[in-house]
A and B are shown apart, each in its own frame.
Chain A
Amino acid sequence: MSSAIPFSAQLINLFAAVILLLAFAMLAQRRILALVNLFALQGLTLCLATLVAAVTTSQVHLYYSAGLTFMLKVLLLPWILHRLVRKLNVKSEVEALINIPTTMLVGIVLVMVAFNVALPISELSHTITRGTLGIALAVVMLAFLMMITRQKAITQVVGFLSMENGLFLAATSATYGMPMVVELGIALDVLVGVIILGVFFFQIRDQFDSLDIRNMEQLKDN
Chain B
Amino acid sequence: MSTPLSIDALLIAACAWLAVGLCGLAAPRNTRFISKILFPLGALVGMLVGLTALAALGGPAQTAVLAIGLPDLPFHLRLDKLSALFALLLGFAAAGISIFAAGYFREGEGTAPGVLCLEYHAFLASMLMVLLADDAYAFMVAWETMALSSFFLVTTNHQHAEIRRAGFLYLLIAHIGAIAILLSFGVMTGGAGDYSFAGMRAQELSPFWASAAFLLALAGFGAKAGLVPLHVWLPEAHPAAPSPVSAMMSGVMLKTAIYGLLRVSFDLLHTTIWWWGVVALGVGLVTALFGVLYSTVQSDMKRLLAYSSIENIGLIAVGIGLTLIFHAYRMESLAALAMTAVLYHCLAHSAFKSLLFLCTGSVLHSTKERSLGKLGGLIHRMPWVAWLALAGVIASAGLPPLSGFVSEWLLLQSFLFSPGLPHPWLNMVVPVAAALVVLVAALAGFAMVKFYGIIFLGQMREPGLKDAHDAGNWEKAGLAWLALITLLLGILPSTVILRIDAATRQLLGTGLADKLHEQGWWMLAPISPERASYEPMIFLVTIASTLLLGRWLVRYLYHGRVRRTTAWDCGYYFQGPRAQDTAEGFSQPIRRIFEPMFRMLRHFPTARDTAPHYSVKVEDHFWYWLYLPLARLAARLSTLIATLQGGRIAVYLMYSFITLLVLLLVARP
Contacts and interface: CB of A to CB of B under 8 A. Distances in A.
Say if A and B assemble together: yes
Interface of A: 97, 113, 117, 120-121, 124, 137, 141, 144-145, 147-149, 151, 156, 213-214, 216-221
A121 B653 contact: no
A68 B668 CA distance: 33
B602 interface: no
A117 B647 contact: no
B657 A144 contact: yes
A148 B657 contact: yes
B664 interface: yes
Given A117-B664, A145-B657, A147-B653, A216 B669 contact: no
Contact of B645 (A141, A148, A151, A220): A220
Given A217-B647, A218-B647, A148 B668 contact: no
15 contacts: A113-B665, A117-B664, A117-B665, A117-B668, A120-B669, A124-B669, A144-B660, A148-B653, A149-B650, A156-B649, A214-B648, A216-B647, A218-B647, A220-B645, A220-B646
A58 B515 CA distance: 79
Contact of A216 (B649, B654, B656, B657): B649
Contact of A113 (B642, B645, B656, B661): B661
A149 B651 CA distance: 10
A121 B669 contact: yes
Contact of B668 (A120, A144, A221): A120
Interface in B610-669: 642, 645-650, 653-654, 656-657, 660-661, 664-665, 668-669
A8 B642 CA distance: 52
A147 B655 CA distance: 12
B650 A97 contact: yes
A151 B661 CA distance: 22
A42 to B, nearest CB: 20
Nearest to A216: B649
A120 B667 CA distance: 11
Contacts of A144: 653, 656-657, 660
A213 B668 contact: no
A213 B651 CA distance: 12
A148 B659 CA distance: 14
Contacts of B642: 221
Contacts of A151: 650
Nearest to B642: A221
Contacts of A124: 669
A162 to B, nearest CB: 14
Interface residues of B, number: 17
A213 B650 CA distance: 9
Secondary structure dominating the interface of A: helix
Nearest to A145: B657
Most buried by B among A113, A148, A220: A148
B649 to A, nearest CB: 5
Given A117-B665, A120-B669, A121-B669, A148 B650 contact: yes
A213 B657 contact: no
A120 B665 CA distance: 12
Q: Which 4 A-B pairs have the closest CB atoms?
A: A220-B647, A217-B647, A148-B653, A117-B664
Given A113-B664, A120-B668, A156-B649, 14 more contacts: A113-B665, A117-B664, A117-B665, A120-B669, A144-B653, A144-B656, A144-B657, A144-B660, A145-B657, A149-B650, A213-B649, A216-B647, A217-B647, A221-B642
Nearest to A140: B660
Contacts of A147: 653
Nearest to A123: B669
Contacts of B669: 120-121, 124
Which one of A117, A149, A156, A218 has the highest number of Cβ atoms from chain B below 10 Å of its Cβ? A117
B648 A217 contact: yes
A147 B656 CA distance: 11
Given A117-B668, A147-B653, A221 B661 contact: no
Contacts of A137: 664
Contacts of A121: 669
Nearest to B648: A217
A105 to B, nearest CB: 16
Contact of B647 (A141, A149, A156, A219): A219
Contact of A221 (B645, B649, B657, B665): B645
Contacts of A149: 650
A124 B668 CA distance: 13
A74 B72 CA distance: 38
Contacts of B654: 148
A147 B650 CA distance: 7
A216 B651 CA distance: 12
Interface in B453-507: none
Contacts of A145: 657
Nearest to B645: A220
A214 B648 CA distance: 7
A144 B659 CA distance: 12
Nearest to A213: B649
Contacts of B647: 216-220
A144 B648 CA distance: 15
Contacts of A221: 642, 645
A54 B649 CA distance: 39
B341 to A, nearest CB: 54
Nearest to B654: A148
A144 B664 CA distance: 14
Contacts of B657: 141, 144-145, 148
A145 B653 CA distance: 9
Nearest to B657: A144
B654 to A, nearest CB: 6
A42 B645 CA distance: 34
B652 to A, nearest CB: 9
Contacts of A219: 647
A197 to B, nearest CB: 13
A154 B656 CA distance: 19
Nearest to B652: A148
Contacts of B649: 156, 213, 216
A218 B656 CA distance: 21
A132 to B, nearest CB: 17
Contacts of B645: 220-221
Nearest to B663: A117
Nearest to A121: B669
A97 B648 CA distance: 12
Contacts of A113: 661, 664-665
Nearest to B653: A148
Contacts of B656: 144
Contacts of A117: 664-665, 668
